[in-house]
Amino acid sequence: MKFNESLSGEKKEEVEQRTALSGVPPLEVHDLTVSYHRRPVLWDIDFATPEGKLIAIVGPNGAGKSTLIKGIMGLVPLASGYVKIYGEDLERARSRVGYVPQRNSVDWDFPTSVLDVVMMGRYGRIGLFRRPRDSDRDVAMEALRQVGIVDLAKRQISQLSGGQQQRVFIARALAQDADLYLMDEPFVGVDAATEGAIIELLREMRRRGKTVIVVHHDLGTVREYFDWVLLLNLRLVAFGPLDEVFTDTLLQQTYGGRLNLLTKVAELMKEQERGRDLQ
């Protein structure tokens, strides 16, 4: 009995060392409400994420998925509620959290190179008024190597394909060297090869104990890519491990009205067709 206990204790320690888990939730969101022009777009969101997981935020268009991430990052004002990153306020934990905005949120005609954009991930660490150092450049090049576009380092960013643009954004987040990552729709408009490369990278990050939260639109790949799921539609519908949360009943609740409406339209069209056939 005693022997077993100590053994399992040892094993646990080993696991903790391997993945550098700290035991504190990477992200806690408490009673978070966001409103635009007094209309709530996120209502009383409350959850805490486990460590070292790939987590999908799933919900219909306009459910507030991007807004949730922006609220967590302090990019939109919160009507109420607060956020903790590894148990600390965002201001103190900034270096531990990396944000990947939507690819189309920037102007890709901006006069700059791929390496320059990736270097921007280092700006928070470089500090005000200082210039990037060689070591920052090395980190940026290593990030480019990890996403497989090191040969594009000097390329002007307007010459990139959609998939390459997304890889640049991911590399920039890697260069930040954070522990928690929030990514807004990284799989939108990218080619299959890039999608595969990104998901491989996310798995590698998970192996190193990183926590990655991804706004995801493709219900078809959730089961394959993610460990945990957050179902969102203005309110938090459910949050938990894939098998418990990604169920037909809960999905129906999340997409509720819309799925029902579509079914009704389909039925009506069938009836019309039947009517035409009878005539």
**Closer to another protein by Cβ: residue 103 or 216:** 103
Phi, psi of 105 (to 5 degrees): -85, -5
Please report whether residue 2 would count as binding another protein according to CB under 8 A: no
- Among 65, 167, 172, 210, contact with another protein (rule: CB under 8 A): 172
Query: Which listed range, 4-12, 101-109, 215-223, 253-261, lies at the site for another protein (CB under 8 A)?
Result: 101-109
180 binds another protein (CB under 8 A): no
How many Cα neighbours within 13 Å face the side chain of 274?
A: 6
Binding mask 7-46 for another protein (x = CB under 8 A): ------------------------------x---------
Nearer to another protein (CB atom), residue 88 or residue 191: 191
Question: Contact between 78 and another protein (CB under 8 A)?
Answer: no
> For residues 161 and 191, is the Cβ–Cβ distance under 8 A?
yes
Q: Cα separation of 85 and 217, whole Å?
A: 25
3-state secondary structure 123-163: HHHHCCCCCCCHHHHHHHHHHHHHCCCHHHCCCEHHHCCHH
Site string for another protein, 110-129 (x = CB under 8 A): xxxx---x--xx-xx-x-xx
Rounded distance, CA 104 to CA 240, Å?
30
The strand pairing partners of 97, in sequence order, are 180
Instruction: For the segment 194-253, give every residue that binds another protein (CB under 8 A).
Output: none
Question: 33: Cβ–Cβ under 8 A, 6 or more apart, which residues?
Answer: 40, 42, 43, 44, 45, 78, 79, 80, 81
> Which position among 34, 58, 97, 214 is part of the footprint of another protein (CB under 8 A)?
97
Name the residue nearer to another protein (CB basis): 94 or 210.
94
- Is residue 3 close enough to count as binding another protein by CB under 8 A? no
**120 CB-side CA count, 13 A:** 13
Residue numbers at the binding site for another protein (CB under 8 A)? 37, 70, 73-75, 91, 94, 97-99, 101, 105-108, 110-113, 117, 120-121, 123-124, 126, 128-132, 156, 158-161, 172, 176, 191
